[in-house]
Amino acid sequence: MQRISFAIPCFNEEENVVPCYDALNAVIKKLPGYRFEFIFADNGSADHTRQRIVSLAHKDKRVKGIFLSRNFGPEASGQAVLDYAAGDAVIPYECDMQDPPEVIPMFIKKWEEGYDSVVGVRTKIEDNPFMTLVRTLYYRLFRAVSDIDVPVNAGSFSLLDKKVIDAIRAMPEKYRFFRGLRAWAGFKTAYVPYKRRKRTYGKSSYTFFGYIQHAQRSFFGFSYFLLSIIVYVGLLFTFFSFSFLIGYLAWHIVTVTPINPLVALLLAGIFLGGIQLLAISVVGKYIQVIVEETKNRPLYIVDQTINTPPLSFKSEIRT
């Protein structure tokens, strides 16, 4: 009998752990013919998330707990649950339950039809209009400039065959962006539309600046567009600076007026200084990514596991 793993990263989700488990359990009761496991990864929560997971694990041996030594960020906890998943297929699922579990049978049906990757695409998001607009613009911009084809409004909610999970596990980078890695891996992919609902319990730990930092992972990890545009902008400003200088000199020659070099120097300094600062910032960000990769630190450190043996040391630090 094939096994399906629910991969559920958590951070300060004490109000959602049990409802999430109950909601998923209600769905799988209607799916005979499969074994299921629930893998919760606590990313250094400051509330009672850990205790909720431990309590569930004592009641149901299908529940596995992975407790990280501190908060390593959402990508790290997301990778931890994938690393510990033992299923023939894995369903990444966010503990806030904004993605409706009722969509899961459609994921499984597509998998049974032969698709290796089944990705949920949000047709509607019950959120404030500003954040909805920001997300839509981000996805469209990222898709336009990235080296891979990432569907608009596709989050982590999906079903991935074991061979897709193995491919993602084998990718060694520390500066990870799961949605990009999933798309980069390829394989036969199907898309399932659904409506994303509002959070019922608790408060999201994501801030607007948190979304910006997360978006940086996608742009700097899967696109060289910013480096390319610096070249074109540099050429453009060089052309305009040269044209301005020629035009400025010609105007003063024709009108027989004295040249004020301070005007030309001031404008040229402002334009070129801004471009140089932008270029240095972008290049510096790429250098930061390189430094992070060469440090060879573990992506995450596990403090404790429950109902599952720890990974080998080499696997756990992902060297």
Predicted confidence (pLDDT) at residue 203 exceeds the cutoff of 70: no
Q: Among the residues of 146-260, which ranges form H helices?
A: 162-169, 178-185, 208-222, 225-255
Q: Say what the pLDDT of residue 30 is.
A: 83
At 205-256, the pLDDT tens digits run 555 565 666 566 666 666 666 666 666 666 676 667 667 767 766 776 777 6
**Percentage of residues of the chain with pLDDT beyond 70:** 63
At 243-278, the pLDDT tens digits run 776 776 677 677 766 666 666 666 667 666 666 766
Select the more confidently predicted residue: 103 or 177.
103
In this prediction, residue 293 has a pLDDT band, given cuts at 50, 70 and 90, of: low
Q: Say what the pLDDT of residue 150 is.
A: 72
49: enclosing H helix or E strand: helix 49-59
Name the strands in the sheet holding 189-196, side by side, starting at the edge strand that comes first in the sequence. 189-196, 117-125, 154-161, 89-92, 3-10, 35-42, 63-68, 302-306
pTM (predicted TM-score): 0.68
- Helix, strand or coil for residue 100? coil
Between CA 70 and CA 51 the distance in angstroms is 15
Structure-token pair, residue 113: 């039809």
